[in-house]
Copies of this chain bind each other. A is one copy, B any other.
Amino acid sequence: MKHLLPILLISALCRPLAAQTLPADARAQAERLRDAALADATVWTRLTDFVDRFPQRLSGSPMLAEALDHIEAGLRADGFDRVWRQPVMVPHWVRGHEYVRITSPTRRELPMLGLGNSVGTDGRPLEADVMVVADFEELAARAGEARGRIVLFNTPFTNYGATVGIRVRGPIEAAKLGAAAVIIRSVTPYSMQTPHTGTTRYEDGVPRIPAAAITPEDADWIARDVARGQRVRVELMMEARMLPDALSHNVIAEIRGSELPDEIVVMGGHIDSWDVGQGAMDDAGGCFAAWEALRLMKELGIRPRRTIRLVFWTNEENGLRGGEVYKDSVAANGELERHVLAIESDAGVFRPEGFGVTADDPTFAKVQAIGTVLEPIGAGTIRRGGGGADIGPLNRAGNVPMAGLNVDGSKYFWYHHTHADTIDKLKPDEVQACVAAMAVLSYLAAETF
């Protein structure tokens, strides 16, 4: 105990000076919001009802359209100052029937998911010998072996950013060498025979070959068999195809600012998901945390100086068209430079830790000051770097400062893009703490920036 006092003193001295700059009344309102979020379970009920009723909101699907109608109706019922929708033409990829089957040495069906945007197998099974590689380097070193093969990238997960490149570019690199198809080890640190889908890409001038994910268990199993000298043959069947672009929408609501209504804090998440599981953490939870943050302001009669705009972006998963259209619209109507901050929650709504912020030093210091209101709930850590896929275009086009909600991400990639992204993986108190974090940052940015 005797060392505690000096530590406390050092801690106080190290606190950024900016922490002193929050006006007392704004801080008090933010604390009211924070505490209301922690006490109110509305978000959990709404989120659960939503994902049970509207799971698998893939761009172009009827389910996504129904989900958007439901959300717009809910926003109107909440009585926000403005509610509208913004048309967005989105890619319309459909999965269809699909399977992966080992045909030799022992016939066996494998859990699998075709990769988003992949082409299919022309209506018939594609059977070929498997070539196992660890990464692009090994593929390049053994380039002569790929022709006519199904290339299996058995790339262990290190971190998402490092590993996802195999999923995104695997079909391009393998097709350049004449491969017939690509199978990847699912991008995940943990699996219970759980395949993970996600976007892949093609490149003009390179043949478009089908691409699917199998589980780490099966990727390892095949790799062991090949290492034993066995010839492993696989049959891949995918009906996947890309249809003409479909009409979707960003859905938007606002609380207008009391003094500077033309200046905007925008926050939200993406309402589309993959066509598996419930898309509960990716990203209905992020959307509903932002929604509830705004609803609580209204319920508590808190109207900030600037406008707070809530956006449910569409088509983050396989196109990012919602984020691009939103950026284009605000660039066209002169609002882009009036965005003082963009906030996104798209890393799951687990226990919040704080925000990752991409901004200049003065703005970063302001967010640090706001973080002090979240310190008592463990969500006050403000780190450099961060944002979100849907708000990235605002930052790139207009240098809009952006912040992404950081959470305990220890299991996020266990569930990411799988059948297991379901509501039961989340916890009510953690989701409510995410609401508190979103509410505090959006309100105080709108009030004090």
The answer on a CB contact under 8 Å between A48 and B277 is no
- 11 additional contacts, CB 8 Å, given A52-B221, A193-B420? A48-B224, A111-B419, A192-B192, A192-B194, A192-B415, A192-B418, A192-B419, A193-B194, A193-B419, A193-B422, A217-B422
Kindly provide the distance from the CB of A219 to the nearest chain B CB, expressed in whole angstroms.
10
With A192-B194, A194-B193 given, is the CB distance from A220 to B420 under 8 Å? no
| C-alpha spacing A277/B191, complex, angstroms | 13
A194: which B residues are within 8 A, CB to CB? Answer: 192-194
| C-alpha spacing A263/B420, complex, angstroms | 53
The answer on a CB contact under 8 Å between A193 and B52 is no
A 196-217 to B, binary, CB cutoff 8 A, 1 in contact else 0: 0000000000000000000011
* This chain's copy number in the assembly: 2
Asked if A245 is at the interface (CB within 8 A of a chain B CB), the reply is no
The answer on a CB contact under 8 Å between B225 and A52 is yes
A53: which B residues are within 8 A, CB to CB? Answer: 106
Asked if A424 is at the interface (CB within 8 A of a chain B CB), the reply is yes
Asked if A414 is at the interface (CB within 8 A of a chain B CB), the reply is yes
The answer on a CB contact under 8 Å between B217 and A424 is yes
A191: which B residues are within 8 A, CB to CB? Answer: 192, 420
A192: which B residues are within 8 A, CB to CB? Answer: 191-192, 194, 414-415, 418-420
| C-alpha spacing A216/B277, complex, angstroms | 13
A 389-424 to B, binary, CB cutoff 8 A, 1 in contact else 0: 000000000000000000000000011001110101
Number of A positions contacting B (CB below 8 A): 25
| C-alpha spacing A422/B221, complex, angstroms | 9
Task: Tell me the chain A residues, 15-62 only, with Cβ under 8 Å from chain B.
Answer: 48-49, 52-53
The answer on a CB contact under 8 Å between B420 and A224 is no
A221: which B residues are within 8 A, CB to CB? Answer: 52, 422
Q: List 29 A-B contacts (CB under 8 A).
A: A48-B224, A49-B228, A52-B221, A52-B224, A52-B225, A53-B106, A111-B419, A191-B192, A191-B420, A192-B192, A192-B194, A192-B414, A192-B415, A192-B418, A192-B419, A192-B420, A193-B194, A193-B277, A193-B418, A193-B419, A193-B420, A193-B422, A194-B194, A216-B424, A217-B420, A217-B422, A217-B424, A220-B424, A221-B422
Residues of A within 8 A of B (CB): 48-49, 52-53, 106, 111, 191-194, 216-217, 220-221, 224-225, 228, 277, 414-415, 418-420, 422, 424
A48: which B residues are within 8 A, CB to CB? Answer: 224
Task: Return the 8 tightest CB-CB contacts between A and B, nearest first.
Answer: A192-B420, A193-B419, A192-B192, A217-B422, A193-B420, A192-B194, A217-B424, A220-B424
Q: Across the interface, name the chain B residue whose C-beta is closest to A422.
A: B217
| C-alpha spacing A111/B276, complex, angstroms | 12
| C-alpha spacing A415/B190, complex, angstroms | 13
| C-alpha spacing A217/B52, complex, angstroms | 11
Kindly provide the distance from the CB of A335 to the nearest chain B CB, expressed in whole angstroms.
38
Q: Across the interface, name the chain B residue whose C-beta is closest to A56.
A: B108
| C-alpha spacing A216/B422, complex, angstroms | 11
